[in-house]
Amino acid sequence: MYHLLKGFHEYLTRKEEFSVIIVGLDGAGKTTLLEKIKTLYNDTPGLSPDKIAPTVGQNTGKITLPSTILQFWDLGGQRGIRSIWHKYYDDCHAVVFVIDAEDRERLGEGWEVFDSVLSAPQILGVPLLLLANKQDSPQSLTVEEIRNSYEDWFRNKEESSRRRYGEDDVHDRRRERIASLDVMGISALEGTGVRAAVDWLFIRVQNSRRREEQNSGS
């Protein structure tokens, strides 16, 4: 009887774990975001921003939500480290791309890298959230301006590839993904918008799991 009850209790309280990777250029604020998420959701607070150094490799963090655990992987964004991101693609359930909305000079580089993440075949079907960070700074571009900036960058890229190769090389699924892209504004430093971003992740990983179950007929 004890085992039966224990099993039933475990069934009721079981939590499914989902992996979320956080990527973006160096200095975008990924680790600041991860540490803020830990502070908001865990009993033990994350590191304060003055203790955060550039990431060489990865940082991890876990939070518990109703029937769900989100395991975050914050990957270093320096040029030389970006080549390892793809190793995390196969096992992740969602991708967060952080862009520094304050750093206009590096937006082009940011879009180049974002575009390669967005079109990576392993994660074409995985929920992708673009976060326009540093909204606390008056110099930052708004969510709308960030979206327009990426769409302009993308249009230019499409035109130049059409001119060069005489044809459209953009995959339909990729275009769909851009059209339905969710962009949210946050301040990882102050925590504004961070809970809304975690809510988005929670809902999207649950929905994509349900879709997977339906597809497999269970």
Ligand X SMILES: Nc1nc2c(ncn2[C@@H]2O[C@H](COP(=O)(O)OP(=O)(O)OP(=O)(O)O)[C@@H](O)[C@H]2O)c(=O)[nH]1
Q: Which is nearer to ligand X, 97 or 150 (CB)?
A: 97
The partner in contact with residue 46, picked from ligand X, Mg ion, none with C-beta cut-offs of 5 to 8 angstroms by kind, is none
Provide the minimum distance between the beta carbon of 22 and ligand X in the complex, in angstroms, as a whole number. Answer: 8
Please report which helix (H) or strand (E) contains residue 58, including its range: strand 58-65
Rule CB under 5 A: say whether 187 interacts with Mg ion. no
The partner in contact with residue 137, picked from Mg ion, ligand X, none with C-beta cut-offs of 5 to 8 angstroms by kind, is ligand X
Residues 54-73 that bind Mg ion (CB under 5 A): 55
**Integer Cα distance of 40 and 197 in angstroms:** 12
CA-angle at 99, arms to 97 and 103, nearest 5°: 165
Least Cα distance to 114 among 68, 201, 181, 57 occurs for: 181
What is the separation of C-alpha 165 from the centre of its chain, rounded to a whole number of angstroms? 32
Pick from 28, 31, 75, 141 the residue near Mg ion by CB under 5 A. 31
Rounded CA Rg of the chain:
19
The partner in contact with residue 38, picked from Mg ion, ligand X, none with C-beta cut-offs of 5 to 8 angstroms by kind, is none
What is the contact surface with ligand X in residues (CB under 6 A)?
24, 26-32, 49, 52, 54-55, 76-78, 133-134, 136-137, 187-189
